[in-house]
Structure 1
Amino acid sequence: MRIAVTGSIATDHLMVFPGRFAEQLIEGSLDKVSLSFLVEELDIRRGGVAANIAFGLGRLGIGPYLVGAVGADFADYQIWLKENGVDTDSVHISTSLHTARFVCTTDADNNQIGSFYPGAMSEARTIGLAPVRERAGGLDLVVVSPNDPVAMVRHTRECTALGLPFAADPSQQLAFMGSDDVRELLAHPAYLFTNEYESVLIQEKTGWTEQQILGRVGTWVTTRGADGVQIARAGLLPLDVAALPPNGTVEPTGAGDAFRAGFLAATAWGLDLENAAHLGCALATTVLETKGPQPPELDAGALLGRIRGTYGDAAAAGLAPYLAALG
């Protein structure tokens, strides 16, 4: 199955300040702030929703096509993605802007001061899907994940015009998009991905009820954190799948992206929605237990063991032939 993943590609610069921001602020002088923090830790991570999803698909042997915009500083990141099975030849490289970047400092009370620089992501609106389809020899699914909002709408319209099945995954961009644009993202996608908060927000943005949205989408997948996943289809009872409990949480960033990678990989293999959710939850838990959203190791035996322990022998047996290639 040929899957193109459109959306953000970014790097995160995460720093830890051992003190408290509040102790550095002077009451009565907050209108003129000039602060500097001596940090103890710097963690640079590869990220971006599309890159995270594509990475997960690549690790599972799907060989996805990553579609997004980056700067000339993408070289090392590009090598990493290629080494992990991601086709990056459809990534647009800006001649003037840097790759999107999130810079964040966290203090001893877990307060954060952060800045997001979209940079080259703003040029994603110039990327067309027709050349990607031609180079790939056809596309079976396009994932429209968080990106430059104009690009998200463009890719959705192109999917409709080209007859390409797509998955709508607006995520955090929902809060910043107008109602008309959000409605355009729901132009009969094969899949709609949201979390619980976004499932309510998307109804508010569109003015459509849950049933009206279900009438426009093939399958609506709602992730609910520790409460698992709900999968809904028009005219059918919802399918609820429990989460796979983590052995301690190191870092939650990217867990939702990992779920999407596992879910889409399983559907690409022709497995049913329940098995797809099992693999998605297992990958999400793997990321929860790992520092960073792109864990370099994926132990098939350990993964199947945990799937068996949570979902039973039949669930593990259904996925075992496809995960065997991971070693």
Structure 2
Amino acid sequence: MRIAVTGSIATDHLMSFPGNFSEQILPDRLARISLSFLVGDLHLRRGGVAANIAFGLGLLGLSPLLVGAAGADFAEYGAWLQAHGVDIRPVRVAAQHQTARFLCITDEQQNQIAAFYAGAMVESREISLPETIARTHRPDLAVIAPDDPQAMLRHTQECRELGIPLAADPSQQLARLEGEEVRRLVDGARLLFTNEYESALLCEKAGWTEHQVRDRVGTWITTRGGDGVTLATAGDRTVTVPAVPAKEAADPTGAGDGFRAGYLAGLGRGLPHERAAQLGCALATTVLESVGTQEYRLTAHTLSARICDTYGPDAAAHIARHVEVPA
């Protein structure tokens, strides 16, 4: 399966706060909140939702197309992605902008406060999927990940016109999208990704019940952190896949992107949804144990051992037969 991943490409500025945000927030002063956190460290890492997903897919040998906009500073980042199996030909390089920036502070309880500067991402709306496909190849699935909202709507519509199946992943952009926009992005998607909070927000924004959402998508995948993942389809059939325990949680940034990469890679290699979700959970925990969204490394042995320890030897053997980690 060839997968196109549309969405953000960014540089992450990751900081840690040696305390708990909740202890610094006064409930009766929320209307005029003004806080500054003295952080303990700063890590600059490659990131962006689409780039993170594409990186994971590349590590698992799927050679994904990355569709998004980056700035004049993208050359080194682009070479990194290419070296890890990502096709960056569709990336639009904006000479007048810097690549988007994600600034995030994480406290001792893994709570996060973040800000996002769009930068070159505003030019994503100028990317034409029909023109991209003409220059590269036609994908079997297109992921619509968080991006400039107009780009998300454009690429969703273009996929429908081209007959390319969709994986809708509005996640961080749900707060900016209006109800009609949410409905346009989600309706008819083969796959829908949200976390637990986003699932409720999506229903509220779209004006749909959970049952109505299920009736409009193929499979609704909801990540629940340490509680694992649920896979829901029309007819109220729900499967819960436990999370893979982490030895030590270093940084939660990008764990959801890692899950998506593993899950999509599993489906792309012919695994059923539950097995694909098990692979996704293993990859998510691998990301969780490293600082930075693309700093982790995979080996067939360690990945299979994680899956075996959590889901059993049959699951590990089944997944290994379908998904091979390139050397």
**Fold in common (TM above 0.5):** yes
Query: Larger radius of gyration, structure 1 or 2?
Result: 1
Partners of 1:144 and 1:177 in 2: CA distance: 14
1:87: how far off? 0.4
1:177 aligns with 2:177: yes
SS in 2 for 1:73: coil
Deviations 1:37-56 (A, max 9, x none): 98763310100000000000
Partners of 1:20 and 1:216 in 2: CA distance: 40
In structure 2, do the counterparts of structure 1 residues 199 and 302 end up closer, same or farther at CA, with 3 Å as the change threshold?
Answer: same
In the alignment, which residue of structure 2 is the partner of 1:58? 58
SS in 1 for 2:266: helix
Deviations 1:280-302 (A, max 9, x none): 00000001111111134202101
Q: Please tell me the residue identity of whatever aligns with 1:57.
A: L
1:104: how far off? 4.8
Q: Please tell me the residue identity of whatever aligns with 1:261.
A: A
1:267 aligns with 2:267: yes
In structure 2, do the counterparts of structure 1 residues 309 and 84 end up closer, same or farther at CA, with 3 Å as the change threshold?
Answer: same
Single out whichever of 140-149 and 127-136 deviates more from structure 2: 127-136
Partners of 2:255 and 2:90 in 1: CA distance: 25
1:213 aligns with 2:233: no
Give 1:220-299 correspondences, 5 Å limit: 220-299=220-299
- Let me know the Cα RMSD of the aligned residues: 2.6
Partners of 1:115 and 1:90 in 2: CA distance: 26
Q: Please tell me the residue identity of whatever aligns with 1:320.
A: A
**Structure 2, unpaired ranges of 5+:** 25-31
Is 1:267–1:276's contact at 8 Å kept on the other side of the alignment?
yes
Q: Please tell me the residue identity of whatever aligns with 1:191.
A: L
Is 2:59–2:325's contact at 8 Å kept on the other side of the alignment?
no
Q: Please tell me the residue identity of whatever aligns with 2:258.
A: A
Is 1:223–1:230's contact at 8 Å kept on the other side of the alignment?
yes
Q: Please tell me the residue identity of whatever aligns with 1:185.
A: L
Is 2:270–2:322's contact at 8 Å kept on the other side of the alignment?
no
SS in 1 for 2:73: helix
Is 1:228–1:242's contact at 8 Å kept on the other side of the alignment?
yes
Identity of aligned residues (%): 57
SS in 2 for 1:238: strand
SS in 1 for 2:8: coil
1:121: how far off? 0.4
**Structure 1, unpaired ranges of 5+:** 24-30
TM-score by length of 1: 0.90
Partners of 2:108 and 2:211 in 1: CA distance: 45
Is 2:60–2:324's contact at 8 Å kept on the other side of the alignment?
no
Deviations 1:294-324 (A, max 9, x none): 1342021011011011111111111113444
Is 2:55–2:85's contact at 8 Å kept on the other side of the alignment?
yes
In structure 2, do the counterparts of structure 1 residues 106 and 58 end up closer, same or farther at CA, with 3 Å as the change threshold?
Answer: closer
1:138: how far off? 1.6
SS in 2 for 1:121: helix
Deviations 1:175-203 (A, max 9, x none): 11111100100130110001111111111
In the alignment, which residue of structure 2 is the partner of 1:154? 154
Q: Please tell me the residue identity of whatever aligns with 2:175.
A: A
In structure 2, do the counterparts of structure 1 residues 5 and 150 end up closer, same or farther at CA, with 3 Å as the change threshold?
Answer: same
Runs of 4 or more, structure 1, over 4 Å off, are 15-23, 37-40, 104-115
1:135: how far off? 2.8
